[in-house]
Amino acid sequence: MLSHDHKKCINKSINLAHKIANSKAAKLTPQRLQVLRILLAGHKALGAYDILEIMREQQSEGQSRPQPPTVYRALEFLLNLNLIHKVESQNSYYACMIEKDVNEQHLAQAFICDNCGNVEEKIAETGARNLYEKADSFGFKIEHVIMECRGICASCQLV
Amino acid sequence: MLSHDHKKCINKSINLAHKIANSKAAKLTPQRLQVLRILLAGHKALGAYDILEIMREQQSEGQSRPQPPTVYRALEFLLNLNLIHKVESQNSYYACMIEKDVNEQHLAQAFICDNCGNVEEKIAETGARNLYEKADSFGFKIEHVIMECRGICASCQLV
DNA sequence: TATACAAATGTTATATTATAACATTGGGAA
DNA sequence: TTCCCAATGTTATAATATAACATTTGTATA
Ligand SMILES: [Zn+2]
Ligand SMILES: [Zn+2]
Ligand SMILES: [Zn+2]
Ligand SMILES: [Zn+2]
């Protein structure tokens, strides 16, 4: 899935992140941006402690050694802005890869390769409509939807 | 959602469980049955340690105090037979409530009430088809699908 | 019946994921 | 300047899950 210009992809995402943060008067601090960048480095889902380790590797002189709450706070912030998503079925996190407008909502479907870890994110359309209709039919009010597909991606099937 | 005859509901599920286990030459031992019964007691999702606590309460003389692996082993067994499902977004487990035939597969959609904990399980039809089509479109081979809706159930909205 | 094997269970310890609680810092607003 | 509050730092611990090895139990078969 790295058939695209990933540097451009990252820059686009970071620009959008700044816009979204500004529009909500939320502060995309260096630390939060660092976590976002770590996730944007690849279209893979990483665990919180994987991210922590990378933060420690990237740690420069004079900075204090990051601790778990640091990661979880950044993740929470980014999740709230919908800049990242959590893969509930594996306790991991990936950067949103949907090209969207500021304020645009989207219901994500994640296709996670259990071989290489890549995540392909799609927008749920029909599938989501179906869920909301079904919920309506018995009076359930949906607050949050989780749609994840675990499996093997195209390139991993070739091997 | 307890507008049904729950004793009958439980018995039906347990009969089916025996049939499914037999058909796969899998042993539904007393311990495994105990865990299934605990989950069947209500249409709620319970955490592994909640189940463990109940097992300990139900512990009779001479039996040894159950430990975490005991619960997780039983859960794994029941998950494999599709007799229970995991709510990935809250690390909890509930008894399957789909009336199905032995050997019948189903793709579950769980509607979890964040107020009362009740789970309503539906079979994904349209939604699932949509997912598989989408996956096909970029060569992704789906092994397992997770569809969860978190929200508020009808009766909790009345309060 | 005796032996041997495998599945299930028991037991202890520990790994992994996540949060509570409180202290400190730093950048505006008044 | 003083105050406030959001952000970060720090320490400890909670919650979820599994590894590793010992023991039991049922049953196949020699
Ligand atoms: Zn997204
Ligand atoms: Zn792959
Ligand atoms: Zn089910
Ligand atoms: Zn409810």
- At B7-38, the pLDDT tens digits run 999 999 999 999 999 999 999 999 999 999 99
- pLDDT in the model for residue A129: 86
Residue B1 lies in a domain: no
CA distance A31 to A33: 5
Task: Give the domain range for residue A73.
Answer: 6-157
- At A116-125, the pLDDT tens digits run 999 999 998 8
Beta bridge partners of B122: B109
Q: Minimal Cα distance from B149: which residue of A?
A: A145
Residue A30 lies in a domain: yes
- At A30-60, the pLDDT tens digits run 999 999 999 999 999 999 999 999 999 999 8
Whether A63 CB is under 7 Å from strand C: no
CA distance B79 to B111: 18
Residue B112 lies in a domain: yes
Nucleotides of D under 7 A from a protein CB: 6-13, 15-20
What is the model's pTM?
0.94
For residue A157, the ligand closest to its alpha carbon is: 2
Residue A123 lies in a domain: yes
Please indicate whether residue B82 or residue B4 has the higher confidence score (pLDDT): B82
- pLDDT in the model for residue B53: 98
State how many domains chain A has: 1
What integer best gives the mean pLDDT of chain A?
94
Q: Select from A126, A130, A151 the Cβ nearest to the Cβ of B141.
A: A151
Q: Select from A130, A138, A153 the Cβ nearest to the Cβ of B120.
A: A138
> What is the mean predicted confidence (pLDDT) over A142-156?
96
Residue B36 lies in a domain: yes
By the CB < 8 Å criterion, does B72 face chain A?
Answer: no
CA distance B140 to B134: 8
Beta bridge partners of A148: A110, B146
Residue B127 lies in a domain: yes
Number of Cβ within a 10 Å radius of residue A72: 14
Q: Select from B109, B140, B150 the Cβ nearest to the Cβ of A151.
A: B140
- pLDDT in the model for residue A101: 85
By the CB < 8 Å criterion, does B118 face chain A?
Answer: no
pLDDT at A25 over 80: yes
Tell me, letter by letter, the H, E, C secondary structure of chain A. Answer: CCCCCHHHHHHHHHHHHHHHHHHCCCCCCHHHHHHHHHHHCCCECECHHHHHHHHHHHCCCCCCCCCHHHHHHHHHHHHHCCCEEEECCCCEEEECCCCCCCCCCCCEEEEEECCCCEEEEEECCHHHHHHHHHHHHCCCEEEEEEEEEEEECHHHHHC
**Protein CA at A23 to nucleotide C1' at D8, angstroms:** 23
Whether A69 CB is under 7 Å from strand C: yes
Model confidence at B62, pLDDT cuts 50, 70, 90, reads confident
pLDDT at B42 over 80: yes
Distance separating the N- and C-terminal Cα atoms of chain A: 15
Give the CATH number of the domain where residue B40 resides. Answer: 1.10.10.10
pLDDT at A78 over 80: yes
Q: Which of residues 37-96 of B touch strand C (CB under 7 A)?
A: 63-70, 73-74
> What is the mean predicted confidence (pLDDT) over A145-158?
96
Nucleotides of C under 7 A from a protein CB: 7-13, 16-21
- pLDDT in the model for residue B127: 79
Residue B130 lies in a domain: yes
Residue B86 lies in a domain: yes
Residue A156 C-alpha to ligand 3 middle, in angstroms? 30
Where would I find the H helices in chain B?
Answer: 6-23, 30-40, 48-57, 68-80, 126-137, 154-158
By the CB < 8 Å criterion, does A108 face chain B?
Answer: no
Give me A135's structure tokens: 């919920």
> What is the mean predicted confidence (pLDDT) over A64-70?
97
